[in-house]
Structure 1
C-alpha cells in the first residue's frame, strides 16, 4: 500500500478547544459566530474559545493545548518527537500581534513558525509556507513529499490562522464577507464568515488507520477573488488526486467541499463536482 499515514491529529477552533469537542459539537446545534468583536468589528467572526488580552500569549496558550493533545495521541518517544521537522502553513502568521503592539510586535514569518514549532517541542528543520487560503494544504503537501522521499519518517504539519483585523479588513474590502451568516451552497448565500483555528497533523510512513492516498493542487488564474465559473480547474485537481490514488470516481463516498458561502465560488465548485462525479456522492461543508 502506497501513501502516507496520519499518525495523530489535533485541533483548536470555534467548535471547541480540542478535536473531540469539535466532533461532538458538529453533531449538535450549529455554532453561531460572535458579533461586534475587536477583531471582526461588525462582521460575524468565529473565534477560538480561549480568553486572553495579549495576542502572543493567547496564541502560545492555544498552541500548548493543541500540542499536548497531539503528543498524547502520537505516543512518540521524547527523543524522536524532538527531532521532528515542522512545516507551518499560514496566510497571516503573526500579523495579529500588530493589533496589540504595532510594528514592533511583528516578526518574520519564519521566526513565528520557528517559535510555534518550539511551542510544540520539536527542534527539527522548520519550513514556513504561505499560499493564502491553501496554506495549510500546501504545508501538508510539502510534508508528504518529505516522508515519501525518505527524508524523514515522520513530519509535523501546522495550519495556523490566529485572530487579526487585517484579514477581516482585506476580505471585507474584496466584498467577500457575509454580514449575517455563511450559507454554503444555499440559494441565499451572500459571502463568507471568517474565523481562527490551529490544526496539527503528524504524518508518517508507518501504517495507521487513516491514509493520505494522494494530494493534488492546481493554479486557477481566472481571478484574484475566485475560481473559473465553470469549475474546470477544480475538476482537474480532483481528477489528478484520484489518478494519484488510483481511484475511480465511483470509489468516492464523501466529498468535503471547500464551499464557504461565496456566491461565485460555491457555484464553480458545484459545477466541478457535477462534472467529475455521476452520481454525486454525499457532500459536507464545515
Structure 2
C-alpha cells in the first residue's frame, strides 16, 4: 500500500461518544440545548468531584469499553478487512478495569493490554499501537498515524482516543487540588480548575482526498513544569506546526485552545498565543462542553469541532470570561474558516499542535 498524492493525509471520518451523547447527531443536539452538566462522583468517604460522564450503559467496565469502541468506530464507516494500523490513545488505559473488576492486578499487566482489549472488540487484524503521553496522547497518535500514511506505509489508519471511568485519575487530580467544584469554565472569570470528562473518539485518517486535510503538527516536550503549561513550549509547538504546514500566523482562521480552566495555565496559554499571533484569530474552547478528557482530548475535541462546523452547531459559553486575559471566545463558527489550529497541553510537559485545512472553504 502507498501513501497519498504528494503525501497528503485527510481526516476522512469521525466517531464520538461523550457526555453529550453516544454519537455526533446526539452530541450536536445536546449542544443546541446548552450542553449536559457534569455528574457528582464519590471518590472516598466524604470526598468527591464532578465528571462529565458518558451516558449510562449496561454491563461491566470491560463490556462498556468494548461496546463503546465498536459503536464509535462504526460511525467512521465500513473498514473491510481491518488490516490498517490502529492507534489506541489513552492516559488511564485499563485502570478502571483493574479498579472495578481485577483489583489484584492493579498496576499490573502490560502497557499494551488496553489496546489489545480494544483491538479484540473490533476484531482488528492490523498492527496495534498504544500511545500514552498524558493529555497529548490522542493528538500524538494522529501525528504518528499521519506520518505513517504520508511516508508510504499505508493508505489508512484508525486513531481511537479513550478515557473511561475510574476513580484513580480523579483522585490524583483532586489530591493536587486541580479540580473545580462544579462545571468547567475555561478562561472564565470565576474559573477554579479543570473538570474531568469521559469520552471515546475515533478518527479515520486516509490518503484519499476528503474535506479535511491534515497540513501540519508538532509535539514539544518541556519538563520544567511537569504539571503545567510552559509559555516557551506553547510558542514552539505553534511555530513548528505552522512551519510544517507552510502557513504564517496570519493564515489561521480559528484556534481550538487547551483552556482547561486553570487559573495559572489559562493565562500562560493566552499570553504565549499573543506572542505568536499578535492579533489573535477567533478562539474556541470545548472543555466547558466535554470536560477535560485527558488522553482522549485530541481525538474527542477534533471530532466535536469538525462535527460542529459540518453540522452548523456551536458550543455556548454561559459564563463570564476573565477580563484580564483580554480575549473572547467565538460564539459561532467564523465566516472565514479555512485553516484551524488545535492545541493540547498536558502533564509531563507535553505540548502538541495540529493544523487542519477545510478543503471546501
TM over 0.5: yes
The residue number in structure 1 matching 2:281 is 281
Q: Secondary structure at the match of 2:19?
A: coil
1:21 and 2:40 matched: no
Residues of 1 paired with 2:56 and 2:43: CA distance? 15
1:160 and 2:162 matched: yes
Contact 1:17-1:50 within 8 A present in 2 as well: no
Unaligned ranges ≥5, structure 1: none
Q: Deviations over 1:146-199 (max 9, x none)?
A: 101111110111111111111001111121111122110012111000011111
The residue number in structure 2 matching 1:249 is 249
The residue number in structure 1 matching 2:96 is 96
The residue number in structure 2 matching 1:110 is 112
Contact 1:35-1:41 within 8 A present in 2 as well: no
Q: Deviations over 1:115-163 (max 9, x none)?
A: 2123233210011111111111111111111101111110111111111
Report the CA distance between 1:233 and its aligned residue: 1.1
Q: Secondary structure at the match of 1:189?
A: coil
Residues of 2 paired with 1:14 and 1:173: CA distance? 24
Residues of 1 paired with 2:43 and 2:210: CA distance? 42
- Selected match of 1:58 from 60, 64, 88: 64
The residue number in structure 1 matching 2:217 is 215
Shift in alpha-carbon separation, 1:87–1:264, aligned structure 2, 3 A: same
Contact 2:90-2:134 within 8 A present in 1 as well: yes
Unaligned ranges ≥5, structure 2: 1-5, 287-361
The residue number in structure 1 matching 2:10 is 5
- Selected match of 1:144 from 129, 143, 146: 146
Tell me which moved more, 119-128 or 237-246: 119-128
Residues of 1 paired with 2:123 and 2:98: CA distance? 26
Residues of 1 paired with 2:167 and 2:8: CA distance? 39
Residues of 1 paired with 2:268 and 2:32: CA distance? 28
The residue number in structure 2 matching 1:204 is 206
Contact 1:190-1:262 within 8 A present in 2 as well: yes
Higher RCO, Cα 8 Å, sep 6+: 2
The residue number in structure 2 matching 1:194 is 196
- Selected match of 1:31 from 36, 41, 45: 36
- Selected match of 1:47 from 45, 53, 73: 53
Contact 2:43-2:171 within 8 A present in 1 as well: no
Residues of 2 paired with 1:98 and 1:53: CA distance? 15
Report the CA distance between 1:36 and its aligned residue: 3.7
Contact 1:110-1:128 within 8 A present in 2 as well: yes
Report the CA distance between 1:52 and its aligned residue: 2.8
Residues of 2 paired with 1:111 and 1:172: CA distance? 27
Residues of 1 paired with 2:164 and 2:47: CA distance? 16
The residue number in structure 1 matching 2:239 is 239
Contact 2:16-2:24 within 8 A present in 1 as well: yes
The residue number in structure 1 matching 2:75 is 69
Q: Deviations over 1:63-101 (max 9, x none)?
A: 121122122xxx44x23xx21110111111110012222
Residues of 1 paired with 2:9 and 2:52: CA distance? 31
Which structure shows the bigger proportion of residues in strand conformation? 2
User: What is the total number of aligned residue pairs between the two structures?
Assistant: 278
Shift in alpha-carbon separation, 1:50–1:204, aligned structure 2, 3 A: same
